[in-house]
Chains A and B, each alone.
Chain A
Amino acid sequence: MADVNRDDVFVVFDRVQKSYDGETLVVKDLNLSMPRGEFLTMLGPSGSGKTTCLMMLAGFETATHGEILLGGKPINNIPPHKRGIGMVFQNYALFPHMTVAENLSFPLEVRGIDKSTREEKIKRALDMVQMGRFGNRRPAQLSGGQQQRIALARALVFEPELVLMDEPLGALDKQLREHMQFEITRLAHELGITTVYVTHDQTEALTMSDRVAVFDDGRIQQLAAPDTLYEEPQNSFVAQFIGENNTLEGVITEIKGDLCEVRLDSGEIIDAKPVNVSSVGDRTRVSIRPERVEMNKARLQKGAHTLKAEVLEFIYMGDIFRTRLRVAGNDDFVVKTRNAPDQVRTEPGQQIEIGWLPQDCRALDA
């Protein structure tokens, strides 16, 4: 990555490919650089290759082609136990026949650390995740959230520089998950650990990460900070996958500078910002976030196109209103408006006009 200082680069995937059967590539040409201390999330639907990447980094899978570098050294031929990477598994993988303290002691014992240092480190790690009193329990006696904390403590107790997490919060309920998201990011930043986090939950990815790599079809579709990812998706997949998104399909009729005109399939003409369309006549999917749609004409740029819309459904959600509209033949066009005193409340069947700032509306690949 151009924006990463080469001296600081800690993890590098260099043109990595992976195939299990020799016929299809699960990971296609992966390039990625991570600076020290970064919290990077690999986000993608299942089967997108993100877990395979994590397993290659951990050493449980070997790259079919390309190099993975850790701290400047290629690690393709280093067995997992010599990589010194902490890992938190989806099912926690706490050893069921050992107590919590023994679980934490394990990575220290195999490193030949003496007993008193071990005990001190275990205590510190347990205190760090607020589980100091649970050292003598067995994993089966703990709740899901507690097990999660222990798994985290175990991955951190031997002070690795890199920690991998494979959907660690998948099994927790919503409230606990949100709490743990906060805990994990806090710990990662406090300890300055480089973290690679795998999830298919986009909210998790957005709230926790410094940068997010969106995976699909064995490739990174976009690698960017959460706000960039949400506001400036580079292609249709990212726009669809991250957050809620309205899509309208059409053909580019004119491009002038950073604006273009799109004729929708239903005939209407709208303004958009060309992102990955190149020439007039290209088919495009126009993407616009539900909260960026204006129902108030006064706030639109002069000369901007507006569209007619029919209200199909109005849902009162407390803090926001969610209005489903029929726009240019699309029945699933959603608008989110803040519940403010001056906000209009629409009713099904009502005809309204909507519009948006052209820079919020992105013309992407079809």
Chain B
Amino acid sequence: MTDATANGKPQMLTTADGKPLKEALKRAQARARRKAFLLVLPLLAFILITFVTPIAQMLHQSVYNEGFVMHEDIGTRTRTPIMTNIKAWFDGNSAGTEPDEAAFAALHQDFLLLRELRAPGQVGTRVNYERGGSRSMFTKAARSAERMEPPYREAFLDVDEEWTDPELWRVMRDASSAYTFNFYLAALDRTKNVDGEIVSVDQNRQIYIKLFTRTLFLSVLITFLTFLLAYPIAHLLATLPLRYSNLLMIFVLLPFWTSLLVRTTSWMVLLQSQGVVNDALVGMGILGDENRLQMMYNQIGTVVAMTHILLPFMVLPLYSVMRPINPSYVRAARSLGATSWTAFRRIYFPQTVPGIGAGALLVFILAVGYYITPALVGGADGQLISNLIAFHMQNSLNWSLAAALAALLLAGILILYWLYDRLIGIDNLKLG
């Protein structure tokens, strides 16, 4: 009510018994709103727990790795800070300082603790993420730490000559604080040199940018192919009488009801060198037995299988915008003098754009994150970025790098979504 007067409106509307109308309205609506909120509460909680929290955690993981600074006992779950002495030395000396005896003495102290906690592997792994071959140095040094005598610098060098490598010390310095952007650098094929400057990694070790580009390219290609295939199907579905179109719709939806794995493996049956397609081509004499087509374990396999699997996601939004388009629009255009091509191009097609946008966005986003199909039929050549994320999650156990890659993927999709909104407008999206 103070708002109303502050707005400079002299008359305030009131109910019959003199209460401000706005208040009364608010109170009347509050109950309905509370009820509505209670109804969506389970969904809200579900989304928070299973969607928002994991994403937040993943984003955190991509900039936070405590492998070098904290040890957690698996049994007792007690957390012990580790590498504290060397951290103190790093804090006291600026980056690029030659490690002196004090540094090695601090390192020795830390290694004694590591040995006690049986944690040298963990620390070595963390350093190994950024400098290959470091893990064994850490385990070896920890084994001999108890026998070491001053001067520690020589003692460490006795174990491994690499211990004075400035690269190693740069990595340890970075790792000594749990928060770091180094994983993002790694995900973009970048690293820091000894002086802390950001540089590209060796040509032959650059994989992520290439994979991002390939993922993007293949996803665009797959989106385009699904569009080419889906547009006529959707048009047919939308124009056929209902009883035929329902039957056809079942064929479109059939892949939806089949396990993804089954679909992918059936493509393997079809596409492999001794598979149905090759056999048929050889049998018809189109191909010689010795030059069977290699259609699997490469990009062709990935593109073919994913186009098929993602096709319904393009057909359905297209169908949903085409169905309500009254045939009289095209008829009107024809009667007004347009050829059937002009009528299609200028009248029919523009009205299906919202469906194309929705379908393309849907297929593209799904394709960018696709994992199982490329893993099974892609071979080395047809792998997508998700396969690498999975690799870092399951095999190399470098979760921070996996998280950084995933975060970059997420950011890329958000940017595309924003672009889409700017260019086409998200209001125009029609999913059905």
Interface residues of A (CB under 8 A from B): 58-60, 79-87, 89-91, 93, 95-97, 106-107, 110-111, 154-155, 158, 164
B335 x A158 contact (CB < 8 A): no
Provided the pairs A106-B333, A106-B346 are in contact, do residues A81 and B339 lie with their beta carbons within 8 angstroms?
A: yes
A93 x B338 contact (CB < 8 A): no
Interface residues of B (CB under 8 A from A): 326, 328-329, 331-340, 342-343, 346-347, 350-351
Distance in angstroms between the alpha carbons of A91 and B337 in the assembled complex: 19
A60 is contacted by which of B331, B336, B347, B350 (Cβ under 8 Å)? Answer: B331
28 inter-chain pairs at a CB distance below 8 angstroms, sorted by A residue, are: A59-B334, A59-B335, A60-B331, A60-B334, A79-B334, A79-B340, A80-B334, A81-B337, A81-B338, A83-B335, A86-B335, A87-B335, A87-B336, A91-B326, A93-B328, A93-B332, A95-B329, A95-B332, A96-B351, A97-B351, A106-B346, A107-B337, A110-B337, A110-B338, A110-B339, A154-B336, A155-B336, A158-B336
Distance in angstroms between the alpha carbons of A258 and B346 in the assembled complex: 62
A81 is contacted by which of B329, B335, B350 (Cβ under 8 Å)? Answer: B335
Distance in angstroms between the alpha carbons of A97 and B331 in the assembled complex: 16
Distance in angstroms between the alpha carbons of A89 and B328 in the assembled complex: 7
Inside 8 A of B346's CB, which chain A residues have their CB?
Answer: 106
Inside 8 A of A96's CB, which chain B residues have their CB?
Answer: 351
* Chain B CB within 10 Å, residue with most, of A91, A95, A155: A95
Inside 8 A of A107's CB, which chain B residues have their CB?
Answer: 336-338
Inside 8 A of B332's CB, which chain A residues have their CB?
Answer: 87, 89, 93, 95
Inside 8 A of B337's CB, which chain A residues have their CB?
Answer: 81-82, 84, 107, 110-111, 158
Which chain A residue lies CB-closest to B349?
A: A97
Q: A80-B335, A81-B336, A158-B336 are in contact. List 4 more A-B contacts (CB 8 A).
A: A86-B336, A91-B328, A106-B346, A110-B339
B334 x A81 contact (CB < 8 A): yes
Provided the pairs A95-B347, A96-B351, A97-B350 are in contact, do residues A110 and B328 lie with their beta carbons within 8 angstroms?
A: no
Distance in angstroms between the alpha carbons of A46 and B346 in the assembled complex: 32
A93 x B339 contact (CB < 8 A): no
Which chain B residue lies CB-closest to A95?
A: B347
Distance in angstroms between the alpha carbons of A107 and B343 in the assembled complex: 11
B328 x A90 contact (CB < 8 A): yes
B351 x A106 contact (CB < 8 A): no
Inside 8 A of B328's CB, which chain A residues have their CB?
Answer: 89-91, 93
Inside 8 A of A91's CB, which chain B residues have their CB?
Answer: 326, 328
A93 x B326 contact (CB < 8 A): yes
Inside 8 A of A95's CB, which chain B residues have their CB?
Answer: 329, 332-333, 347
Inside 8 A of B340's CB, which chain A residues have their CB?
Answer: 79, 81
Which chain B residue lies CB-closest to A112?
A: B337
Inside 8 A of B336's CB, which chain A residues have their CB?
Answer: 81, 86-87, 106-107, 110, 154-155, 158
Chain A min CB distance to B429 (Å): 16
Distance in angstroms between the alpha carbons of A83 and B335 in the assembled complex: 8
B331 is contacted by which of A82, A84, A89, A110 (Cβ under 8 Å)? Answer: A89
A110 x B342 contact (CB < 8 A): yes
Chain B min CB distance to A99 (Å): 13
Which chain B residue lies CB-closest to A90?
A: B328
Which chain A residue lies CB-closest to B325?
A: A96
Inside 8 A of A164's CB, which chain B residues have their CB?
Answer: 335
Inside 8 A of B351's CB, which chain A residues have their CB?
Answer: 96-97
Inside 8 A of B338's CB, which chain A residues have their CB?
Answer: 81, 106-107, 110
* Chain B CB within 10 Å, residue with most, of A80, A96, A158: A80
Inside 8 A of B333's CB, which chain A residues have their CB?
Answer: 95, 106
